């Protein structure tokens, strides 16, 4: 069997960390098994779906390197849905219901007041043709429910293990609205059948939906795919991440924050698994280590600080060739390999390099802690040319002249030269700043 999976986002919002993690897991399963990965846009909600969100989702997946082998949109498949839905109507598995929202809400309220589960009572199954005609004459349009078989529903989940529901404990789901538009449930099942999806990988919030979908597959004469329901991501306060909260959008992490794609992949591919969270540099390593047996049922928490730590570690080991074009796009085309190697151990995100470029080449306000000491240091400043041995030679001379050592020697020099207390090693940074700038900053005393 060739593995075929799909990532099926609804374009009612932007791609965020939680849905990107699901997409990555689906993609990894396909690639690990040398299968196919479909991107399917579930845009049956024509009111809330937007082209802007479709473009955002596709751009986010491309940025993460999650290429797809095929593409489909639900809004293009109306005729396919209509034909299959008619079959379910003809064989009695879809039946018309005429209750209004207010009437259904009252039914639920009465059931709850009697400590009964709010399950639809199937009253519509007892309607006579005359009663249906009366409702139609009143202008009522039916919504259509799927008639569940009152029997056990079982499957073996690749993450959750054996799962069991019972049809008698569930409410017949609405599959078609009053205006004739099909809902997510039936469209998804029809697509999965037509596109020969072998494994459905999605969030655990769909487990109950899956129980209904299993019977829909069977009602349409298809064998249900295998399922894997992964835990959703939580934030550090214990709540679920939500695209409505903002701050975790993929576009924002990419453009505004400057996160490296492999940093995000390193975190979300390992979070909630038994594997250690560590910087990963090649997608091949992520694929090879992927296994559903490693996933926990506990709620994993997305730690933004951990993301930054991974991002820094990845940048610290990234060669100049990996950032050269991106630096040029940031307007820093004059940065060369030597400068990159000198400052990269102090970067958290790539854009931080602009600050160190300014320290090396811009107008820095020196912090002079001791004017007399600064004058001595300026007088002892070596002549050109400078290299990475200049710092040691210079500080050795200052040490002999002032008898200063350690932090008492180095910190005033760092503050005077860079205006900051921390940063790249000065033996590497000093030649990049150059003798003239160093002299001018020391003379600011």
Fold adopted by 363-442: Arc Repressor Mutant, subunit A (1.10.10)
Of 129, 156, 163, the closest CA to residue 292 belongs to 156
Is the confidence at residue 243, as pLDDT, over 70? no
Question: Which residues lie closer than 8 Å to 42 by C-beta, 6 or more apart?
Answer: 8, 9, 10, 11, 74, 184, 187, 188
User: Burial level of 27, CB count in 10 A (0-12/13-18/19+)?
Assistant: buried
What integer pLDDT is reported at residue 245 of this predicted model? 42
What integer pLDDT is reported at residue 240 of this predicted model? 53
Is the confidence at residue 236, as pLDDT, over 70? no
Is the confidence at residue 237, as pLDDT, over 70? no
Is the confidence at residue 359, as pLDDT, over 90? yes
Structure tokens at 49: 């779906």
CA separation for the pair 131, 97 (Å, rounded):
11
CB 44 within 8 A of CB 77: no
CB 79 within 8 A of CB 85: no
Q: What is the average per-residue pLDDT within 144-156? A: 97
What integer pLDDT is reported at residue 248 of this predicted model? 82
CA separation for the pair 224, 198 (Å, rounded):
8
Q: What is the pLDDT of residues 177-202, one digit of tens each?
A: 999 999 999 999 999 999 999 999 99
Do you know the residue count of the chain?
Answer: 445
User: Helices (DSSP H) in 290-425: which residue ranges?
Assistant: 304-316, 324-329, 337-343, 353-361, 371-379, 390-402, 406-418
| Domain parsing of the chain, residue ranges | 4-79+181-230, 99-141, 250-347, 363-442
Q: What is the pLDDT of residues 276-308, one digit of tens each?
A: 999 999 999 999 999 999 999 988 889 989 999
Q: What is the pLDDT of residues 414-440, one digit of tens each?
A: 999 999 999 999 999 999 999 999 999
Q: What is the average per-residue pLDDT within 318-344? A: 94
Label residue 247 by pLDDT band (50, 70, 90).
low
Under CATH, domain 4-79+181-230 is a member of which superfamily? Answer: HUPs (3.40.50.620)
- Work out the number of other CB atoms within 10 angstroms of the CB of residue 154: 12
Q: What is the average per-residue pLDDT within 251-262? A: 92
Q: Return mean pLDDT, the chain.
A: 94
Label residue 239 by pLDDT band (50, 70, 90).
low
User: CATH for 250-347?
Assistant: 1.10.1160.10
Is the confidence at residue 241, as pLDDT, over 90? no
DSSP notation for 355-383: HHHHHHHS------S-HHHHHHHHHTPPP
Label residue 330 by pLDDT band (50, 70, 90).
confident
Label residue 256 by pLDDT band (50, 70, 90).
confident
User: Burial level of 355, CB count in 10 A (0-12/13-18/19+)?
Assistant: middle
What integer pLDDT is reported at residue 47 of this predicted model? 85
Q: What is the pLDDT of residues 44-64, one digit of tens each?
A: 888 889 999 999 999 999 999
Percent of the chain residues topping a pLDDT of 90:
90
What integer pLDDT is reported at residue 246 of this predicted model? 45
What integer pLDDT is reported at residue 257 of this predicted model? 87
Q: What is the average per-residue pLDDT within 168-177? A: 96
Q: How far is CA 56 from the centre of its chain?
A: 12
Pairing assessment for the beta strands 94-97 and 70-73 based on DSSP bridges: unpaired
């Amino acid at each position: 069997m060739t593995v075929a999976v799909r990532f099926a986002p609804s374009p009612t919002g932007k791609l965020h960390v939680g849905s990107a993690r699901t997409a990555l897991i689906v993609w990894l399963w396909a690639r690990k098994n040398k299968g196919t990965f479909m991107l399917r846009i579930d845009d049956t909600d024509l009111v809330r779906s937007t082209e802007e969100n479709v473009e955002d989702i596709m751009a986010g997946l491309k940025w993460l390197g999650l290429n797809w082998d095929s593409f489909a949109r639900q809004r293009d498949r109306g005729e396919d849905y209509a034909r299959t839905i008619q079959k379910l109507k003809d064989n009695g598995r879809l039946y018309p219901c005429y209750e209004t929202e207010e009437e259904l809400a009252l039914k639920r309220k009465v059931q709850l007041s009697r400590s009964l589960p709010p399950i639809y009572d199937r009253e519509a199954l007892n309607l006579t043709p005359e009663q249906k005609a009366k409702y139609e004459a009143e202008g009522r349009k039916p919504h259509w429910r799927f008639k569940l078989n009152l029997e056990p529903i079982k499957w073996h989940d690749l993450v959750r293990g054996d799962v069991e529901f019972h049809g008698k404990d569930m409410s017949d789901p609405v599959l078609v609205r009053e205006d004739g538009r099909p809902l997510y449930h039936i469209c998804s099942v029809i697509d999965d059948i037509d596109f020969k999806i072998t494994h459905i990988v999605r969030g655990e919030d769909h487990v109950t939906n899956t129980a209904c979908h299993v019977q829909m597959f069977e009602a349409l004469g298809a064998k249900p795919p295998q399922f894997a329901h992964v835990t959703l991501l939580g934030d550090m306060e214990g709540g679920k991440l939500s695209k409505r909260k903002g701050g975790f959008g993929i576009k924002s992490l990419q453009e505004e924050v400057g996160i490296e794609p492999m940093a995000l992949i390193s975190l979300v591919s390992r979070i909630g698994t038994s594997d250690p969270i560590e910087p990963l540099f090649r997608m091949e390593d992520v694929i090879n280590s992927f296994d559903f047996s490693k996933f926990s049922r506990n709620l994993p928490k997305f730690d933004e600080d951990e993301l930054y730590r991974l991002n820094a570690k990845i940048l610290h080991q990234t060669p100049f060739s990996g950032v050269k074009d991106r630096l040029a796009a940031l307007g820093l085309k004059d940065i060369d390999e030597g400068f990159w190697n000198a400052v990269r151990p102090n970067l958290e995100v790539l854009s931080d390099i602009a600050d160190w470029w300014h320290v090396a080449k811009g107008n820095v306000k020196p912090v002079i802690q001791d004017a007399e000491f600064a004058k001595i240091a300026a007088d002892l400043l070596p002549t050109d040319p400078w290299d990475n041995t200049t710092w040691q030679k210079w500080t050795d001379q200052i040490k002999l002249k002032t008898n200063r050592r350690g932090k008492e020697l180095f910190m005033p020099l760092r503050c005077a030269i860079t205006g900051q207390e921390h940063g790249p090693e000065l033996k590497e940074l000093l030649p990049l700043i150059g003798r003239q700038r160093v002299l001018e900053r020391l003379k600011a005393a």
